[in-house]
Structure 1
Amino acid sequence: MPTLSGLFTYPIKSAGGVSLDRAHVGPLGLDLDRRWMVVDDTGRQLTQRDCPRMALAGVEVEPDGLRVTAPEMPDLCVPFEPEGPPHPVHIFDQPVRARQVGGEADGWWSAFLGLRAALVHFPDEAERRMNPRFGTARISFVDGNPLHLVSEASVADLNARLTVPVPTARFRANLVLSGGDPYEEDGWRRIRIGGLEFDVVEPCARCSVLNVSGGRMGAEPLRTLTGYRRRGRLVEFGQNLIHAAQGELAVGDPVTVLRRADLHLQ
C-alpha cells in the first residue's frame, strides 16, 4: 500500500518549498500554498520559467510570517496578512484582485532578480477558479489545481533513464508518495490519504521549470521525459488533485485507491 512520505507547501510561487510533518488542507489546498507571488511592473506573474534565479530563494515559516533568504541578500520578513493596497494582477491571463505586500519586499525582489518586481498576496476574499473542465474549486496562485502529487517510484524510474538523477523535490509537489509501482498513479481517479478523500482530475503537464537547478536552466529531465511521457503536445508526470473536504494530513498516512480509470473507455 502506498503511503504519504512527503508534505510540502510553497508559500511564494516559484520560490523554495517548506517540508512539513503535518499539514492542514483548507479551502484552497494546503495552508499557505502559493498565497504570495512575484509580479513584474505590468502585474504579470514571474516564475522560474522567466527567472530561474527564483529557485535560489528559500522560505521559512515563522510565528509572525515568512522569512525569505537568498544568496548575498539580507533576510526578508513577510507578514501573514499584508496591509498594502489592492494590486490587480494577472496569472496566466486570469485577473486576480491581489494585495500588495509593499514595504521592503518590492525592493528586495527587484534587487534579487535585477528587474522591477513586486510581491503580492492572495487574500482570503480573492476569487480565482480552476479550469471548469475539471472542477469548480477555488485556487490560489497555483498553476491550475489545488494540489499536486508525485510518486517516488515514478521518480526512480525516470532517474534510471538519466545520467544525472534529479531529486523528488524538483517536481514541486505538495504530496509525495512512497510504495507502489511506477506511474500507477496514472490510473487513479479517487484516493483516500489518511482520513481525507481526493479526486485525481488530470495529469500534470510539465514545463521548463523542471529543468531549473541551482538557479540555472538546463535541458534535463524534460528532454528525457519527452521521449516516453509525451501525450499529444504535453509531457505528463504526476497528478493534480482536488480535495473533497478540509482536514489534516500527516507523513506516514496510508493511501487507499478508491476508484481507478476504466481502461476499456480510454
Structure 2
Amino acid sequence: MKDKAKLAGISIFPVKSTSGIAQSRAWVGLEGISFDRRFVVTDLAGRMMTARKFPKMVTIKSTLVENGIVLSAPGAKNLHLAIEEFDRDEFECKIWSDRFFAYTTTEKANAWFTEVIGRDAQLLFCGEESNRFREKLGTKVSFADAYPLLVISQGSLDELNRRASHPQTMSQFRTNIVVDGVEPFAEDGWERIAIGEVEFQVGSTCQRCILTSIDPVTGEKMAEKEPTATLSRFRADEKGAIYFGMNLVALNEGVIEVGDEVRVLETRSPVLYRDADA
C-alpha cells in the first residue's frame, strides 16, 4: 500500500532544554518554527545550561501570552516576562562551538532560573532575528543545537517501542515535526520534502545524547537506561553513536498545519545500521 504521509504533530520549545508546547498550526521561518528555542539559559559566562547536566530543566513549562511568555516550574511562582521590559544588552553566548551575540532579558528572569536550577544562571534571547549564522547550513539558527528543525515519524517511535523494555514518548526526543502514515525510519531516505506552504531540505541524521533518557514529566532518568539501551542495538554506528530522527532546514517561509500532506520531493540512500536484534 502506498504511504500516505501526514503531518501529525508540531511542537516548539521556547526555552532551550525545557518543556515543549504542542501546536496545531505554525509559522515556519528560515530560523525554524516561530518561538522555537528563542530563549536559552546560560551561566554567567554565556555558556549554555541544559538538561543534560540539569535534568529538572525539562519540568519548566512555557506559556506564550500576548506580550511575552509565562514560565512555571514545580515549587516556584510563575514568572511573567514581558518582551518590552527586556534589557536587550548584547551578551556573547556559546552554543556548542558557535559563539555569537544574544541579548539579555531581565534580572528577575535571571534570579528565577538561578533559584529553580540551583546554580547562577541568566536567561538570554535571540532578539527579533538570531545573530547565529551557520555557514554549513547557509541559514541563521536560534539556540537549537545545530539545525533549525527535527522530524521523526510516528512509525519510527512505534518501532522503538516494539523493541524497548517500556514505552518511550516523542517528547523525549524534542521533536518539532511528527509525520504519520509512513514506514518506520522512512525519514532516513528523504532528501527534500514539502509540508503545507514550506519546502525543507533534509540534513543529517540526528545523533542522540543522554537527554533522551530523561523523563520529560519528572526530570528523572528513565528506567533500564532507555531509550539508549534499545537504540544502541539497532540504530548505532560502528563507534557506538546512536541516531534517531532527521534534521531539517526550511527553504522558504510559510504555514504548516496538522493534517497537511507530507510530500517527498527527493530521496536518498539511507544510512544502514547493524541490527543486533535481527
Report the TM-score when normalising by structure 1.
0.94
Counterpart CA distance in 1 for 2:213 and 2:134 is 25
Q: CA deviation at 1:83?
A: 2.7
In structure 1, which of residues 70, 75, 80 is the aligned counterpart of residue 78 of structure 2? 75
Cα deviation digits, residues 7-64 of structure 1 (max 9, x gap): 1111100011111111001131100110100001221001110100101101111111
Q: CA deviation at 1:164?
A: 1.4
Counterpart CA distance in 2 for 1:57 and 1:125 is 24
Which residue of structure 2 lines up, in the alignment, with residue 247 of structure 1?
Answer: 254
Q: CA deviation at 1:180?
A: 0.8
Cα deviation digits, residues 179-229 of structure 1 (max 9, x gap): 110011100101111232111111111011100111123421012111110
Please tell me whether residue 48 in structure 1 is matched to residue 51 in structure 2.
yes
Counterpart CA distance in 2 for 1:262 and 1:52 is 36
Counterpart CA distance in 2 for 1:27 and 1:198 is 10
Which residue of structure 1 lines up, in the alignment, with residue 60 of structure 2?
Answer: 57
In structure 2, which of residues 24, 29, 34 is the aligned counterpart of residue 26 of structure 1? 29
Deviates further, 216-225 or 77-86: 77-86
* Conserved 8 A contact 2:93-2:99: yes
Q: CA deviation at 1:102?
A: 1.6
- Unaligned ranges ≥5, structure 1: none
Cα deviation digits, residues 150-182 of structure 1 (max 9, x gap): 111100000111121011121111101111100
2:141 is matched by which residue type in structure 1?
I
Cα deviation digits, residues 63-119 of structure 1 (max 9, x gap): 111111110000011234523422211111311211111231111100011110000
Instruction: Give SS of 1:153's match.
Output: helix
CA 1:154 to 1:125, structure 2 compared with 1: closer, same or farther past 3 Å?
closer
Q: CA deviation at 1:262?
A: 4.4
CA 1:80 to 1:3, structure 2 compared with 1: closer, same or farther past 3 Å?
farther
Q: CA RMSD in A?
A: 1.5
Which residue of structure 2 lines up, in the alignment, with residue 221 of structure 1?
Answer: 227
Q: CA deviation at 1:128?
A: 1.2
- Alignment coverage as a number of residue pairs: 262
* Conserved 8 A contact 2:41-2:48: yes
1:162 is matched by which residue type in structure 2?
A
Instruction: Give SS of 1:173's match.
Output: coil
Which residue of structure 1 lines up, in the alignment, with residue 198 of structure 2?
Answer: 196
Please tell me whether residue 172 in structure 1 is matched to residue 174 in structure 2.
yes
Which residue of structure 2 lines up, in the alignment, with residue 259 of structure 1?
Answer: 266
Counterpart CA distance in 1 for 2:259 and 2:102 is 35
Q: CA deviation at 1:130?
A: 2.9
Cα deviation digits, residues 221-258 of structure 1 (max 9, x gap): 01211111012432110001111100000000001111
* Pairing of 1:108-257 with structure 2 (within 5 A): 108-130=112-134, 132=136, 135-213=137-215, 214-218=218-222, 219-233=225-239, 234-257=241-264
CA 1:172 to 1:125, structure 2 compared with 1: closer, same or farther past 3 Å?
closer
Please tell me whether residue 37 in structure 1 is matched to residue 44 in structure 2.
no
CA 1:184 to 1:226, structure 2 compared with 1: closer, same or farther past 3 Å?
same
In structure 1, which of residues 105, 108, 111 is the aligned counterpart of residue 109 of structure 2? 105
- Unaligned ranges ≥5, structure 2: 272-278
Report the TM-score when normalising by structure 2.
0.90
* Conserved 8 A contact 2:29-2:254: yes
* Conserved 8 A contact 2:197-2:253: no
* Conserved 8 A contact 2:102-2:131: no
In structure 2, which of residues 78, 93, 97 is the aligned counterpart of residue 93 of structure 1? 97
CA 1:64 to 1:240, structure 2 compared with 1: closer, same or farther past 3 Å?
same
